[in-house]
């Protein structure tokens, strides 16, 4: 998931990165450029390769470019390659690989793709690509150095010689202690490791000395973390643990009780699917750390239901506005339902106290809170053929069962939306004569929230949704964005008759027949 609301910060990075890219234009690149002709022959033999699918005009791609180049150079030492595909020049290749936005990054293992979910800065890319699977270099001792590589098996052997180093090798380390590799839960643990090898470090030990040093009774699974509680043992009957059980448990432990959220860590929280409780703070304020610690027991109370985070308000003030915190007053607090994109801000005029925050979160969990919806003002006039839709009028306009409704959800800054605008305007013009039957509308999705009654959220721009007359169900439009295709879609899906109504001669006053004047010659 992209943190699209960090737009201003991303723009600043894009500008700085663009300058850096121009300065380095003459340097040879360590990033491989791929085409339709070279893709398979280059990618399929590689045990591990990262590929960026990009567009030259994309600002986020320009911001990523210097970091991607730096990572490519650094990873050469580990024989890990980075490549890129220009989706303007190689449109068919990008379509084959399901690229829908830019940049899209994928990790390929011998030609098999997986989505890249790591950071977008050089050090993060490097860490991600060298992470999770250990290989040991034997120099003068049996264990002299740990190098983490994705190119090796998902589960590493742990012995008394490497136990301590392995437990501390990453921020999240899971170790299964069993008397034999055939004992439960070894097979389920290994399957979990294979599925999540790009996220966590997995090890397995049958060494009695290692098991004794770990202080556990086999079979056991233990997660070691470099934050919060250091060591946590699987609390349920471990012999019957399934892949789903183990992965859910590790995923919950992987989220700090009250950690910092930023561009690099946001994906961890968004992928959990749980609501986010934000504490916006100024890190330079001497009271900030005390406030974070004061809220930690509250975060612990609701852990598993709501993820608590703190965020640097001096960097991400625009995100506070996106969460409907109107004033730049810190500290501030807001709960966000990520699934429905609904926001529940705490009154900025009130002091943030643990008791009050706990009550707010409890009311949210119990469904007692009403979300605060953002909306642009209702337009005074609607003279254009495309209806300007705002949050306040969404239910009134879209859920009018007498009309078919076709809505474009757009963002002002979105290049795709700007290219669609004249076509969407033409679509409105095409159906202007039947405005009483169909509404062609547009809505600035970053300036207007959707009501809780809407069964979807907007994840990209533009998003096109059609609601037939007499229904509250929405259809996605996923065809091409040519005017003829849009017209055909509307005519196929609309429930109303989209032909103009013509009054019959019998409507209103009765028609009269007037004989022609006799001013011409008879035959």
* Residues forming the active site: 58, 61, 414, 417
* Cα–Cα distance, 66 to 324 (Å, whole number): 34
* Cα–Cα distance, 65 to 63 (Å, whole number): 6
Q: Which residues contact 442 (CB under 8 A, 6 or more apart)?
A: 386, 387, 388, 389, 407, 408, 409, 410, 424
Q: Which residues contact 100 (CB under 8 A, 6 or more apart)?
A: 460
Residue given tokens 């001497």 in the structure block: 286
- Whether the Cβ atoms of residue 272 and residue 255 lie closer than 8 Å to each other: yes
Q: Which residues contact 429 (CB under 8 A, 6 or more apart)?
A: 385
DSSP letter for each residue of 217-255:
-SSEEEEEESSSSSEEE--S-GGG--HHHHHHHHHHHTS
Burial (Cβ within 10 Å: 0-12, 13-18, ≥19) of residue 82: buried
- Whether the Cβ atoms of residue 129 and residue 50 lie closer than 8 Å to each other: yes
* Cα–Cα distance, 342 to 374 (Å, whole number): 10
Instruction: For 257, list phi and psi in degrees, rounded to 5.
Output: -60, -45
**For 359-462, where are the E strands, in sequence order?**
387-388, 404-410, 438-444
* Cα–Cα distance, 498 to 391 (Å, whole number): 27
Question: Taking phi first (over 0 means left), then psi (-120 to 50 degrees means alpha), and beta for anything else, what does residue 324 get?
Answer: left
Instruction: For 155, list phi and psi in degrees, rounded to 5.
Output: -115, 130
Instruction: For 253, list phi and psi in degrees, rounded to 5.
Output: -70, -20
Q: Which two tokens stand for residue 30?
A: 């360590």
């Amino acid at each position: 998931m992209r943190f699209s609301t960090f737009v201003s910060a991303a723009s600043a990075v894009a500008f700085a990165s663009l300058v850096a890219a121009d300065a380095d234009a003459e340097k040879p690149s360590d990033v491989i450029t791929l085409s339709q002709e070279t893709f398979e022959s280059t990618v399929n033999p590689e045990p591990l390769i990262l590929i960026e699918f990009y567009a030259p005009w994309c600002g986020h791609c320009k911001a990523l470019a210097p970091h991607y180049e730096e990572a490519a150079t650094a990873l050469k030492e580990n024989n890990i390659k980075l490549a890129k595909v220009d989706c303007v020049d190689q449109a068919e290749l990008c379509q084959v690989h399901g690229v829908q936005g830019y940049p899209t990054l994928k990790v390929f293992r011998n030609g098999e793709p997986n989505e890249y979910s790591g950071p977008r800065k050089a050090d993060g890319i490097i860490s991600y690509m060298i992470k999770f699977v250990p290989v040991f270099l034997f120099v003068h001792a049996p264990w002299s150095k740990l190098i983490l590589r994705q190119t090796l098996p998902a589960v590493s052997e742990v012995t008394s010689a490497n136990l301590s180093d392995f437990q501390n090798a990453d921020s999240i380390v899971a170790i299964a202690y069993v008397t034999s590799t055939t004992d439960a839960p070894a097979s389920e643990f290994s399957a979990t490791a294979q599925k999540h090898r790009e996220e966590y470090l997995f090890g397995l030990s049958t060494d009695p000395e290692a098991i004794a040093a770990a202080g556990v009774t086999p079979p056991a699974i233990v997660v070691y973390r470099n934050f919060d509680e250091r060591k946590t043992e699987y609390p349920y009957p471990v012999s019957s643990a399934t892949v789903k059980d183990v992965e859910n448990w590790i995923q919950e432990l992987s989220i700090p009780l009250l950690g910092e959220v930023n561009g690099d860590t946001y994906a961890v929280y968004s992928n959990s699917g749980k609501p986010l409780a934000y504490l916006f703070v100024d890190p330079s304020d001497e009271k900030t750390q005390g406030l974070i610690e004061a809220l930690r027991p509250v975060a612990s109370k609701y852990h598993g239901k709501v993820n608590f985070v703190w965020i640097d308000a001096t960097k991400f003030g625009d995100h506070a506005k996106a969460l409907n915190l109107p004033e730049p007053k810190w500290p501030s607090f807001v709960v966000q339902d990520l699934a429905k994109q609904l926001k529940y801000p705490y009154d900025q005029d009130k002091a943030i106290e643990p008791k009050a925050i706990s009550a707010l979160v409890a009311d949210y969990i119990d469904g007692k809170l009403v979300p605060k919806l953002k909306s642009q003002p209702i337009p005074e006039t609607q003279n254009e053929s495309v209806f300007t839709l705002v949050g306040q009028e969404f239910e009134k306009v879209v859920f009018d069962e007498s009309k078919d409704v076709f809505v474009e959800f757009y963002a002002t800054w979105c290049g795709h939306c700007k290219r669609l605008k004249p076509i969407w305007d033409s679509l409105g013009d095409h159906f202007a004569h039947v405005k009483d039957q169909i509404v062609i509308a547009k809505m600035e999705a970053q300036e207007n929230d959707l009501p809780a009654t809407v069964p979807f959220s907007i994840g990209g721009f533009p998003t096109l949704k059609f609601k037939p007359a007499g229904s509250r169900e929405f259809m996605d439009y996923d065809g091409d964005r040519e005017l003829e295709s849009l017209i055909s879609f509307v005519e196929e899906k609309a429930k109303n008759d989209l032909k103009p109504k013509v009054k019959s001669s019998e409507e209103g006053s009765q028609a009269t027949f007037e004989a022609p004047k006799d001013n011409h010659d008879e035959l």
